[in-house]
Amino acid sequence: MADVVMPRLSDSMEEGTILKWLKQVGDEISVGDELVEIETDKANMAYESDVAGTLSEILANEGETLPIGAPIARVGDDVRGTSREAAGPVAAGGASGLTRPETPPSTPPAGDEAGAAATRTAPAEIPADGDGHRPKASPIARRIAKERGVELAGLEGSGPGGRIIKADVEKAKAEPTGAVGFEQATTQPPAAAPPAAVSEAPETAKGQVEHQDLSKTQQLIARRMAESKATAPHFYLRAVVDMSRAVEGRVKLKEGAVEGSVVPSFNDMVVKACALALREHPRANGAYRDGRFELYSRVNVGVAVAADDALVVPTVFDADKKGLRQIAQDSRELAGKVREGSITPPELSGATFTVSNLGMFGIESFSAVINPPQAAILAVGAIEQKPVARGGEITTAHLMKVDLACDHRILYGAPAAEFLARIRSLLEEPFSLAL
């Protein structure tokens, strides 16, 4: 019998939430089969089994959050049940002695029957349904129901096997405890009670207040951004890049492109320019950690992608060694995986620098927060055609504003200015990006 534990699916992951079991108890599993979908601090990912055999027991229910290394299932020949919750409260605590024989005795001893009945009885603090059983619900659904005063027995579950999940509770209206879904335990008719009023959030000067729980990804963003601003002394350098030749070059690339080929975007050009500049400025490609500098031999550029009300940063590895078309292809594949929810842990790790581009939204310029422990992040604005003075005459040029946020513990003013100037010169002479 082998335990399947909560895996570490990202370098910053501390716990994970079971979203959906992709295999059921009794299914045969091979190494590499997708076993369970897990919500991590970065994305929702399907975990591929690293063991083979029969899925004998599911220990973690959908919606349950567990720390890394905690057992979530067992693989072996002894099939025990659909989940620890379905097996009853004792099984949920980890006991393994509740496995019933395939052929139960025809006349069980009275003591055994009483013990079985006691096992099936739900704990006093958890409401029971009309049959005396504990309603099937995920832990997070129970927590939210308790906070909102919602009786689980009055809900219809939409999860596997009719289990009540978080969404079912959120759709329900709060009722006074004990008001719905229960049979009276006495033969006397219940005393008449006044109609229960639906509890609603009090009206405030701001109107009705709605509270929303953060996803794992949103929790990580909040924690890491607060950590970054609190611990990394940010300073900002701003520059204007003349993208006129880059615009002309991209037009030629589009004209010469064959059908179905990938045409590099301006952001791909920025990624390539940053990668070449990072190779020449090792401190910008490093990190300040535990009182010393970390300098990395590989140049891996993270590209910020917006998805599902969160920010995910997949990595273009060895961007300094790749051509523009390869960077363009990698970037599109990664962005597509982020939006489809199929991005993998290795594709979200290992970035040594980050590019964040809001130019497609018409944002002229902005300042970004460093993605710790990286030394810097480049914020890229929109390309706009504006009047400029050249050779004593007024003409127009395609200008793009960039903003470099730096961690002053590793990247100082003058070296950071040289680094940004190198990025600008590479973009203003875009043919050098093909080298």
Radius of gyration (Cα) for the chain, nearest Å? 29
The token pair that represents 399 in the structure block: 């200008």
Tell me if 125 sits within 8 A of 154, measured CB to CB. Answer: no
**Burial class (CB within 10 angstroms; exposed 0-12, middle 13-18, buried 19+) of 170:** middle
Tell me if 2 sits within 8 A of 53, measured CB to CB. Answer: yes
> Residue 412: what residue type?
Y
Residue 423 phi, psi (nearest 5): -60, -45
* From 133, 211, 234, 408, the catalytic residue: 408
Residue 344 phi, psi (nearest 5): -105, 160
Tell me if 16 sits within 8 A of 66, measured CB to CB. Answer: yes
Distance from C-alpha of 156 to C-alpha of 258, rounded to nearest angstrom:
55
Shortest CA distance to 215 belongs to which of 17, 8, 406?
Answer: 17
Question: What is the CA 203 to chain-centroid distance, rounded?
Answer: 33
Q: Is 408 a catalytic residue?
A: yes
Distance from C-alpha of 177 to C-alpha of 138, rounded to nearest angstrom:
19
- What is the number of residues in the chain? 435
> Residue 281: what residue type?
H
**Cβ neighbours around 213 below 10 Å, total:** 10
Angle at 220 between CA 218 and CA 221, to 5 degrees: 65
Q: Among all residues, which ones are annotated catalytic?
A: 408
